[in-house]
Structure formats: structure tokens, C-alpha cells
Amino acid sequence: AQSVTQLGSHVSVSEGALVLLRCNYSSSVPPYLFWYVQYPNQGLQLLLKYTSAATLVKGINGFEAEFKKSETSFHLTKPSAHMSDAAEYFCAVRGQGAGGTSYGKLTFGQGTILTVHP
Amino acid sequence: SQTIHQWPATLVQPVGSPLSLECTVEGTSNPNLYWYRQAAGRGLQLLFYSVGIGQISSEVPQNLSASRPQDRQFILSSKKLLLSDSGFYLCAWRRAGELFFGEGSRLTVL
């Protein structure tokens, strides 16, 4: 079974400041990990994903995340926040090697709302 | 290219009324399809998934049901809505391990 915990339901940063959104996972098998972004009243868009290749994953819009097995973490970062980054961000996990039974189901965290101040 | 459509985008329904939300995927065949619900402050909860026509798996017991009458059509239904059914419903399909989401349907039950 897999689970995801996102630390902090709300994060507020100033424009130009570092963005750090925290995600810790629990998985009984090696995980695939994802970050999605959701703008108001829209569906979810994939930012980046970890699939057991490089531990530092680069995504769209300048975001990146680092997989740390020892810490069971997959935190999302961006060096300099833009006003357009204001949205809700979701971390998600799926177990590797269980495709036959997992059917691609993702388990999502509770989400973190990012606010960017001028 | 593949696209996914959901409708209606917004729906306001009284308690006890029926519900039908539709999801259609274009540009692919035999996709895995999913219905998620997003309630305020509660993240995304997987409701149903389908690996083929007529094949529906339910993740949680609830007041809702799903059907897949055609390869690229996924329908979420209820015979009698409850207040707790309010939320943002997202349909998704899977390709190469990734989920691609529709724009969502916001349901308010009064």
C-alpha cells in the first residue's frame, strides 16, 4: 500500500523567493512519484515525475524535485517564485512493479496551496 | 493528439435528485479511465477505475456508481444525491504511467 503526506496545507512566499513544497511517501514497493499542479477550477497538470532513473527530476515551469530514499521524501522546489506559480500542488505515488494489480492508480496527498506575494 | 472532455463543467442539484457526469477521451483506444473526487481540504480520492468496456472497479463504498458503455466513455451516476456528494469530480486516463486529467465538473448539492 502507498500513502503520501504533504506537510503544510498552505505555503506563502514572496515573488522571487525560493519555493519549497514538502512531500513524504510511504510505499511497500519502490515508488513512482509525481507532482501535479491545479489552477482554480481546472484539472490537474503534471509538473514532473520520478520513475527510478535520476534522483533529481526537472519539470516544467522551472520546478524540480529530488527523490531521497533515506528520507522517503520527494520535495518540490523552485529557485525563484513567480506570481503565476500561485496554485494548488499535489504529490502522488504509485508502486512500481505492481502494474498488473495497481492498474495505474495514483494515491494523492492532501494538496498544498501556494500563495505568491508581490 | 489525445484529449479528454468532461461535462457539465458546473452543476447545482437538490438533495435526492439524480446525477450523470460524462467523460470522453479522444485520440486513443482502450484507455484505463478513472474518476476522482476532490472535496475541500481533502485532496483527491479515487472513486472508480475501468480497464475496459463494462469493467468497473469501485474503490470506496458510496452513493455513486460508474459505467463504461463505450471504449472511450466513462459515466459517473447517482440515483439520489446527498449533501456529502458535493465536490469537484475529475476524470482521468492513463498513458505510460501518467494520468491526464479532464477539466473537472463542480457539483454543488443543496
**Whether the predicted pLDDT of A96 surpasses 80:** no
- A90 contacts on B by Cβ (under 8 Å): 43-44
pLDDT 10s digits, B92-102: 998 877 899 99
pLDDT confidence tier of residue A21, bands split at 50, 70 and 90: very high
Closest CA to A7 of A70, A91, A93: A91
pLDDT at B95: 83
B18-68: pLDDT as tens digits: 999 999 999 988 899 999 999 877 788 999 999 999 999 988 767 899 999
Q: What is the DSSP pairing of strand B44-52 with strand B55-58? A: antiparallel
**How sure is the predictor about A101, in pLDDT bands with cuts at 50, 70 and 90?**
low
Cell of A52: 527510478
Mean of pLDDT over chain A: 90
Average pLDDT over residues B72-84: 95
Q: Tell me phi and psi for residue B84, to 5 degrees.
A: -70, -5
**What pLDDT shows up at residue B97?**
77
> What integer pLDDT is reported at residue B49 of this predicted model?
92
**Residue A98 above 60 pLDDT?**
no
Of B44, B51, B104, Cβ closest to residue A90: B44
Q: What is the pLDDT of residue A116?
A: 97
Beta-carbon neighbour count of residue B104 at 10 Å?
A: 22
Place of cell 438533495: B15
- Cβ–Cβ gap A111/B43 under 8 Å: yes
pLDDT of residue A102: 61
Using a CB–CB cutoff of 8 Å, tell me whether B11 touches chain A.
no
Tens of pLDDT, residue by residue over A46-73, are 999 998 778 999 999 999 999 999 999 9
DSSP secondary structure letter of residue B28: -
pLDDT band at residue B103, thresholds of 50, 70 and 90?
A: very high
B59 interaction partners in chain A (CB closer than 8 Å): 105
pLDDT tens per residue across span A71-90? 999 999 999 999 999 999 99
Amino acid letter for position B35: W
Question: Which grid coordinates belong to A106?
Answer: 495514483
Asked if pLDDT for residue A27 goes beyond 90, the answer is: no
Cβ contact B43–A110 (<8 Å): yes
Q: Exposed/middle/buried for A41, CB within 10 Å: 0-12, 13-18, 19+?
A: exposed
Chain A residue numbers with beta carbons less than 8 Å from the beta carbon of B92 are 43-44
Which grid cell is A97? 512493479
The verdict on A94 touching B (C-beta cutoff 8 Å) is yes
Residue B46 Cα distances to A31, B1, B17, B35, B102, angstroms: 18, 26, 23, 6, 14
The pLDDT of residue A61 is 94
A70 touches chain B (CB under 8 A): no
pLDDT, position A63 = 97
